[in-house]
Amino acid sequence: MGPNEPDRISRRTFVIGAAGLAAVAAVGPGAGLAAATAEVDICAGVAVVGDSPQVLCRQNSRWVLIGDDGVAKATTGLAGALVLDVATDARGALAAGSIDGEAALWSSADGLSWREVLRLHGRRSVFTAIASNPSEAMALGSDLSGEDVPQGTIAARRLGVNWSLGAVTGLAATAYVTTLAVRRGGWLAGAIGSQETVLHVSSNGTTWSELAAGRLDDAAVQGVLDDDGSVRWVGNAIGGSAALAGTVGAGRGPAGVPDRSHAVGLVRTHRGRVSYWLLDGRLQTAEVR
C-alpha cells in the first residue's frame, strides 16, 4: 500500500474485527476510553446483558466482558475460540464464531460463564452473526474454502432447547453475513460483498429477499436496528474506512466518532440507539438518531 493510497479495509477485516488495539476502560456517550496496558485484538460485538450494554473482547488471548463501568471481567468457556458476534436471549447471552476452524455457538446465563452448544465438526466454517427473538434464536455464517473465502451460507436455529441446521436461500454464497437483527414479523441481515453491504429480510429465517433500498454501496455494515420499519445502520466505508451511520432510504453521514473508528455494533439502550466503536485502544459510543 503506497503512502497516498487510501487505508482500505477488506470485508474479511470487517468480519473479524480490528486488530492490534489496546484494552478499554470506562465508556460513556460520545466519549473515548483510556487505554489499559493489555491489548485487545478483537471486539466481537455488543449486546444488552441484564440492564446494560456489554462488549465482548479478546484480551491477552482470553475473552473479557466490558460494561459501561469500564470494568473488564474475565470469562470462562471460550478458550481458543474466535467469537464474531454476540446477542441476548431470554436465558442470558449467545455468542457465534468458530473454534479450530469449525463453526461454533455458545450460550451463557450471565455473559461470563460460557458453554458450547453447537459445533460443526469436520467442516471448515464459521458463524458470523447471531440474534434472538422471544421464541427462537438464529445464527448465520459461511462454509469456507481453504483460503477462508465464503462458499455458501449456513444457518442454525434454536426452537426450544436444541440447535439444528437448516437450509437458507436468497443470501449470496460468497458474502459474509456480518449482522443479524430481529424485525417486526421476522429477521434482518446484512451481508458484505466486495464493494457493498446488501440488507436482506426474511419472515421465517429460511427464505431471504433484498430489502428495498437496502443495497449500501461502499459500506461494510456491522450493526442494524429496525424501529417499526425504519432501518438504521452503522459501519465503515470499504474504501477509506470512514465511520458511517445511516438510515435505509434516507441517506448516510458521519457517525459522530473519528473516521478511523472501527464499528463494533449498534444496540438499543435506556439512552436510546447507541453505536459502539473501537479506535486506538479506546471504545467510543455515539447516539444514532
Least Cα distance to 280 among 11, 14, 24 occurs for 24
In the predicted structure, residue 251 carries a pLDDT above the cut 80: yes
Query: What is the chain's length?
Result: 289
**182 versus 30: which is more confidently predicted?**
182
The confidence score (pLDDT) of residue 104 equals 98
- Full-prediction pTM beyond 0.85? yes
pLDDT tens profile 95-154: 999 999 999 999 999 999 999 999 999 999 999 999 999 999 999 999 999 999 999 999
**How many Å apart are CA 96 and CA 101, to the nearest integer?**
13
CATH number of the domain located at residue range(s) 11-287 in this protein: 2.120.10.10
Radius of gyration (Cα) for the chain, nearest Å?
17
- As beta bridge partners, residue 289 has none
- Nine-digit cell at 216? 449500501
The confidence score (pLDDT) of residue 18 equals 45
**194 versus 142: which is more confidently predicted?**
142
Residue corresponding to grid cell 436510546: 272
pLDDT category of residue 174 using cuts at 50, 70 and 90: very high
List Cβ neighbours of 106 (8 Å cut-off, separation of 6 or more).
77, 78, 81, 83, 94, 95, 96, 114, 115, 116, 117
- Nine-digit cell at 279? 479506535
Cα end-to-end distance, the chain, whole Å: 36
The confidence score (pLDDT) of residue 33 equals 38
Q: What is the mean pLDDT of the chain?
A: 87
Count CA within 13 A, CB hemisphere, residue 193: 13
pLDDT category of residue 3 using cuts at 50, 70 and 90: very low
Question: What CA dihedral angle connects 127, 114, 51 and 278, to 10 degrees?
Answer: -50
Q: What mean pLDDT do residues 169-196 have?
A: 95
Letter string b/e over residues 139-163, b meaning 16 or more CB atoms within 10 A of that residue's CB: bbbbbbeeeeebeebbbbbbeeeeb
pLDDT category of residue 234 using cuts at 50, 70 and 90: very high
Residue corresponding to grid cell 483510556: 34
What residue spans define the domains of the chain?
11-287
Percentage of the chain lying above the pLDDT 70 cut: 87
The confidence score (pLDDT) of residue 10 equals 57
List Cβ neighbours of 60 (8 Å cut-off, separation of 6 or more).
38, 39
The confidence score (pLDDT) of residue 213 equals 97
Q: What mean pLDDT do residues 199-226 have?
A: 97
In the predicted structure, residue 16 carries a pLDDT above the cut 70: no
The confidence score (pLDDT) of residue 24 equals 32
What is the DSSP annotation of the chain? --TTS-----HHHHHH---SEE------BT------SSEEEEEEEEEEETTEEEEEEEETTEEEEEETT--EEE-BS-TTEEEEEEEEETTEEEEEEEETTEEEEEEESSSSBEEEEEEEEEEEEEEEEEEE-SSEEEEEEEEE-TT--EEEEEEEEEETTEEEEE--BSS-TTSEEEEEEEETTEEEEEEE-SSEEEEEEESSSSB-EEEEEEEEET-EEEEEEEETTEEEEEEE-TTT--EEEEETTS-EEE-SS-TTPEEEEEEEETTEEEEEEEETTEEEEEE--
